[in-house]
Chains A and B, each alone.
Chain A
Amino acid sequence: MSRPLLIARRAAAGLLDAIQALSLVFVIIVAGIVITALTSSNFYVLEILVLAVIYMQFTSSWDVLCGYANQDNFGIAFFTGISGYIAAILNKSLAMSPWLTVPISATAAAAAGLVIGWLALRLRGPYFALLTIVFAAVLSKLAYIFSHVTGGEEGISGIASFSRSVETDLLVCVALLFISVLCMTAFARSHYGLILRSTQHNEDAALASGINAAHYKVAGFGVSAFFAGVGGAMFAHTHMQVSPELMAGSLSVLVVLMAVAGGRGTILGPVLAAGALTLFNEWLRIIEIYRPIIFTGTLIVMIYIFPSGIANASFFARAPLLRRLLFGREA
């Protein structure tokens, strides 16, 4: 069997396996969002759902590398930012349709991810985190320096949305999220996930097993950056503007917090946590002045009670059926 054919067959088998392993709760949530998009015309609700979907995309793309390799990327905004800006620039100056800018900008983010992944190969723990922080910080400074292209602090506005209606935009976003989660689940359940997990504690034993660990880590970075890039482009084409906030450190930290609270290394844990927390944060707007305090306080309490995240909490180990419903099949 030829190599491309073999890879295609493995990818197809992986996707099929991911579909079978999919969490029922996630399917219900996606279906619920689709129904809301088709029936509701409440602009406010639809906008919040778009935001929730984008955050689900961000956190799951963080988890597909960091949850499995147990490395903390504190610079996911590098990828969301670079992709959002590329999508914005392509759309504004070349009048490219969102159907082209999303794949192009996500691929560009993936290419950047491969480079940073290669540079970060030898780093672990805080050093790895620092490298990712520095890259994101440099990028957001570049947005100010090259303000004639990026619009500086103002950012770029007037970007085309996916469609003319918020309802359809939401449908596009939730479809992209669904496909992304499926692909990332397939990746995490494949030997890539297995080998990324093996490098957590003992890369030498992986090398001695004939595994080129560097290949897997760099590939993981590329995949994570690609789907973060899809999220960044989603943001650009739904909010119709990008600003340096899309590459800010605060966004990176928020993504890490939501993913860790949800339970790293599960994809669905971070997805569900990001969705719930985004809605919670919006609901808190009724007490706007206390909102940041209550929101971050809730995150801290969650991480205090479940240090390894809700999806990895010990009560799920005793309730396999519930775990299966919420986070999908494990093996």
Chain B
Amino acid sequence: MTLLVASNLSRHFGGVKAVNDISFEIPAGTVFGIIGPNGAGKTSLFNLLTGFLPPTSGSVRFRNREILGEKPYHLVDAGIARSFQLVKPFFGMTALETLMVPIWSRKLRLKFLTREMREASARAQLDRIGLADKANTLVDDLNQGDLRLLDIARAVSTEPEMLFLDEPFSGLGQEHVTRLSSIITDLKQSGVTVAIIEHRLRELMQLVEHVMVMNFGSKLAEGKPADVVRNPAVIEAYLGSKGMQFGSAGG
């Protein structure tokens, strides 16, 4: 089953075509990778899909319903969540309080009716990312890796069907990378569809079943990771010599 279908999606900033007539499909229950050089339009594409950027033209259907141009908080109700590339935490709030915020979304507020239920839910999410012992720590005092996991936990707290992760691995140490990889694998096993933008190809290629390569706002290639990294156009545009290395490693 196809969960999300984007057709002829475009977003222009003046003369710059940040996203230029892109069409793709994300099958349900998969991990979908989006790669491309800096400025290829990956984050703009995520912003279009999650309601943070109004489109110039095109269509996005999620579970057969047109969602393009809807507000981010309405998309959360529909089952779409996202994390951010640049993590800006809720300064002055604790880790636990951070995860209390999504509980007040329209989608969840009737699910957790008492304070105890809400706190238990937020604690369970903290436990999942291994920050249970930092529940009452101010986010101001958390390190970059913890903050990124917390942002992802905030997105996961909305109980999405489709989760967009914007460069989740960038700037993470090995320990956090391992933790995050296992979180993504768990999510996939529980039926969540995940789309990931990533520069760290080593981590990405192990997780994804399907990769789309973007360059200059357009789709350059699409397919299985092993095939994509062998595609000469991709190697030329983005992967360079590293891509050759990956290609041979994959083969």
| Chain A contact residues, majority secondary structure | helix
Given A209-B76, A210-B105, A212-B73, CB of A201 within 8 Å of CB of B91: yes
CB neighbours (8 Å) of A212 from chain B are 71, 73, 106
Contact B91 A200 (CB under 8 A): yes
User: Is B101 interfacial (CB 8 A cutoff)?
Assistant: yes
Contact B92 A200 (CB under 8 A): yes
CB neighbours (8 Å) of B97 from chain A are 194, 197
Interface residues of B in 84-121 (CB under 8 A from A): 84, 88-93, 97-98, 100-102, 104-108, 110
CB neighbours (8 Å) of B77 from chain A are 210
Chain A minimum-CB-distance residue to B157: A209
User: Is B20 interfacial (CB 8 A cutoff)?
Assistant: no
Complex CA distance for A145 and B72, rounded to whole angstroms: 45
Q: Which of A6, A200, A206, A207 has the most CB of B within 10 A?
A: A207
Chain A minimum-CB-distance residue to B160: A210
Q: How far is the CB of B58 from chain A (nearest CB, A)?
A: 21
CB neighbours (8 Å) of A201 from chain B are 88-92
Q: Which of B72, B89, B104, B106 contacts A208 (CB 8 A)?
A: B72
CB neighbours (8 Å) of B246 from chain A are none
| Chain B contact residues, majority secondary structure | loop
Given A194-B100, A198-B93, A205-B151, CB of A211 within 8 Å of CB of B84: no
Contact B88 A211 (CB under 8 A): no
One digit per residue, 1 when the CB lies within 8 angstroms of any chain B CB and 0 when it does not, for chain A 187-227 equals 00001001101101110111111111000000000000000
One digit per residue, 1 when the CB lies within 8 angstroms of any chain B CB and 0 when it does not, for chain A 1-43 equals 0000010000000000000000000000000000000000000
For chain A, the bracket of interface size reads: 10 to 19
CB neighbours (8 Å) of B100 from chain A are 191, 194
User: Is B155 interfacial (CB 8 A cutoff)?
Assistant: yes
Contact B90 A202 (CB under 8 A): yes
Contact A211 B89 (CB under 8 A): no
Chain A minimum-CB-distance residue to B105: A210
Complex CA distance for A97 and B212, rounded to whole angstroms: 71
CB neighbours (8 Å) of B50 from chain A are 208
One digit per residue, 1 when the CB lies within 8 angstroms of any chain A CB and 0 when it does not, for chain B 64-90 equals 000000011100110001111000111
Contact B81 A208 (CB under 8 A): yes
Q: Which of B76, B88, B157 contacts A204 (CB 8 A)?
A: B88
Q: How far is the CB of B108 from chain A (nearest CB, A)?
A: 7
Given A194-B100, A195-B104, A210-B106, CB of A202 within 8 Å of CB of B92: no
Q: Which of B51, B97, B101 has the most CB of A within 10 A?
A: B101
Complex CA distance for A204 and B90, rounded to whole angstroms: 10
Contact B71 A208 (CB under 8 A): no
Q: Which of A200, A204, A210 has the most CB of B within 10 A?
A: A210
Given contacts A195-B104, A211-B73, 4 further A-B contacts (CB under 8 A): A195-B101, A197-B97, A207-B52, A210-B102
